[in-house]
Structure 1
């Protein structure tokens, strides 16, 4: 069953005060995201991955086409969608628990229930005992765990994640990838996860949507199936096969994106 329907979506931006024609970020994007699946989205820099996520979140609107959640058009932000960005976006004056409670306040959840749900979700991401810590007292990985707990606490149907682990060191990133898979399996949420990392895309995704260079389109959707997720998945030969296949799809798109960047620099030089 389709949870998110992206139908012939195009997004253009007017470049202000430049005299240049509108900038097309996405062109004719078609993608279905299944109920309860973990879909990763990869593509070269500037291909419109974050723009597409913003459209699904309702933070901006398509120039053409439509986006549906459970068959209903997306017209703006909603509590059915939680968002986790690369930057932690935590309130520095609030404790970890108070940060997680923030979304629940917007839903007018009673105070005692807010506190209970916040503690439960901090425990879910492995932060029991850190409820009273402020963001500056937490490591980068712990802050991102708080951000994930906050997005999950108000029980959205869909979790949208824009390169949430990109700023973390390799060891912390792999640890949080494992934690996120566990949380996803526990909650059954529909997850759309943007990444630049092919390994991350293969490790996390049930399917991988590969985008073209700008204007972004869906080049191919790769089904990922392992016999088991037990043990060291990255050491599985099948992991390497998926990684190689995705890189082959991306290689020409990355080269095209680099040419586009050089052209822009030259034209403005």
Structure 2
């Protein structure tokens, strides 16, 4: 796949020995809870304009890592840098798309996309034009005046993506955004996302449980261990252009990458399941 941008030698995002601990109350609600480590020593660099996918077993800390990058919570140790500056809280330089659409039900598709633009002080006329531009980009021209309940799940997720791109964040954080969709819609939105990424050159950090989705979308796939989450291995994905063939998922190259990531994940999933059993028996 052609690079969306010319990547500089200075990383856009840097995780340096990032750790995150939580304290969980026991079943009796006692104040003295159990302290467990969600993330332990995460080191990862992401280039400007890169599309990186995180995969790992349930409970390995993927979403926690994204929340830390989004500034929604603080690390227990280590640091996260964005454009060379420590992440200390949320900011409009990062857009977030969750599995749940998180749209405002009383606003139309147009109004939802304009929401982020209002927060950045964009004048009303410019907001309208920019919202329509990004609704067109995600294939929703003609649906500007529909409310979320009048749209399909795939359409609602397109609105969420348009909203995140419209106010021009440098980084897009996506936490299993297509997990709740049917297979055909999911593949369609994967293609849509790749097309938008190539056009805009944004840096994308994407979480998924799907190995096929990880291989199809990512320039690199970071495989995480079972809890405590660490980066087990980073797999570069060399597939050329994802849009040059209609049958990429059936290609031998795709199968090789898929098998490599599956092999890395297999033991970690087994460890995570064993940990869940042990914790449930306590």
Interval containing the TM-score (normalised by the shorter chain): over 0.9
Q: Identify the residue that residue 206 of structure 1 maps to in structure 2.
A: 219
Q: Deviations over 1:112-136 (max 9, x none)?
A: 0000000000011111110000000
Counterpart Cα distance in 2 of 1:235 and 1:248? 19
Specify the alignment match of 1:262 in structure 2: 277
Counterpart in the other structure of 1:14: 23
What does residue range 168-179 of structure 1 map to in structure 2 within 5 Å?
168-179=181-192
In 2, the alpha carbon distance for the partners of 1:67 and 1:22 equals 22
1:156 counterpart (153, 156, 169): 169
Partner in structure 1 of residue 3 of structure 2: none
The match for 2:113 is 100
Q: Superposed, which structure 2 residues align to 1:15-164 within 5 Å?
A: 15-16=24-25, 17-18=29-30, 19-164=32-177
Separation (CA, whole Å) in 2 of partners of 1:155 and 1:40: 21
Q: Helix, strand or coil for the counterpart of 1:102?
A: helix
- How far did residue 22 of structure 1 move? 1.2
SS of 1:150's equivalent in the other structure is helix
Tell me the TM-score normalized by structure 1: 0.98
Q: State whether structure 2 residue 186 is matched by structure 1 residue 180.
A: no
**1:245 corresponds to which of 260, 271, 277:** 260
CA distance in 1, matches of 2:34, 2:56: 24
Structure 2 portions without partners, runs of 5+: 1-8
C-alpha deviation, 1:227, in angstroms: 3.4
Counterpart-to-counterpart distance in 2, 1:226 and 1:159: 22
CA distance in 1, matches of 2:36, 2:12: 29
DSSP-derived class of the 1:22 partner: strand
CA RMSD of aligned residues (A): 0.8
Alpha-carbon distance, 1:20 to partner: 3.4
CA distance in 2 between partners of 1:49 and 1:4 (Å) = 16
**1:4 pairs with 2:17:** no
Normalising by the residue count of structure 2, what TM-score does the alignment of the two structures yield? 0.93
* Residue 236 (structure 1) shift: 1.2
Partners in 1 of 2:114 and 2:36 — Cα distance? 39
